[in-house]
Amino acid sequence: MLTIYGRANSINVRKVLWLCEEIGLPFAREDWGRGYQPTSDAAFQRLSRFGVVPVVDDDGYLLRESNTIVRYLAAKYATGKGAADLYPSDLKTRATIEAWMDWAATDVYTGLRPVYLGLHVKTPEFAGKSDIIDWGRGVWVRQMHTLDAELTASGAPYIAGDAFTIADIPVGLVVNRWYGVDFEKPELPAVARYYERLSERPGYRLYGRNGTP
């Protein structure tokens, strides 16, 4: 059985949990990370010297980095109706999906991180540092305007087209955090529609729009 190491309130662990729900993949999970067992402990270091969650153990194969884990599990375990849409084999379609996954982990997360950690988690390195938080908010808002424009231009229900794909997992969690962190934000109609559409999925209600930013 797949074992997932990482706290369930981590946005990166939630990517893997949501994917498992989508494909019906059973798993066991252990709490590691902020507020739980520290990833500096020797037991976790034996899993990954990088000390970040999630890490998965798939029958002895250890893998880190949430987006990579999602791609790996989708490629290995997705079967049945919708499996071909989830992570298509067509090279260009797959590249588009992976580009959106990279966007969620880099371009938008650069601004999201100081806002989330400063306003919601209130970690010492960001709490009360309004200049850093304001800078992050500006970056995050600009990136969300770009997302809204892309959704508007495509007119498609999901981020990579007509079908739900693994690109919607990291992007959907960014959108959930956008609405879950309390700060002044612009109206983004296409993003709002996307948020409601994703909320029709049981996996998103379990691991995305579940009251946790």
Q: Which pair of structure tokens corresponds to residue 177?
A: 């955090």
How far apart CA 98 and CA 145 sit, in angstroms, is 20
pLDDT of residue 71: 98
How far apart CA 90 and CA 84 sit, in angstroms, is 10
pLDDT at 61 over 90: yes
Could you report the per-residue pLDDT of 154-210, keeping only the tens digit for each?
A: 999 999 999 999 999 999 999 999 999 999 999 999 999 999 999 999 999 999 999
**If phi over 0 gives left and psi between -120 and 50 gives alpha, with beta otherwise, what is residue 201?**
beta
H or E stretch at 53: none
Which domains does the chain carry? 2-79 (3.40.30.10), 84-205 (1.20.1050.10)
Contact 147, 171 (CB under 8 A): yes
Q: Count the Cβ atoms, other than its own, within 10 Å of residue 180.
A: 16
**If phi over 0 gives left and psi between -120 and 50 gives alpha, with beta otherwise, what is residue 35?**
left
For the chain, give the mean pLDDT: 97
Could you report the per-residue pLDDT of 66-89, keeping only the tens digit for each?
A: 999 999 999 999 997 778 899 999
Tokens 């960014």 label which residue? 174
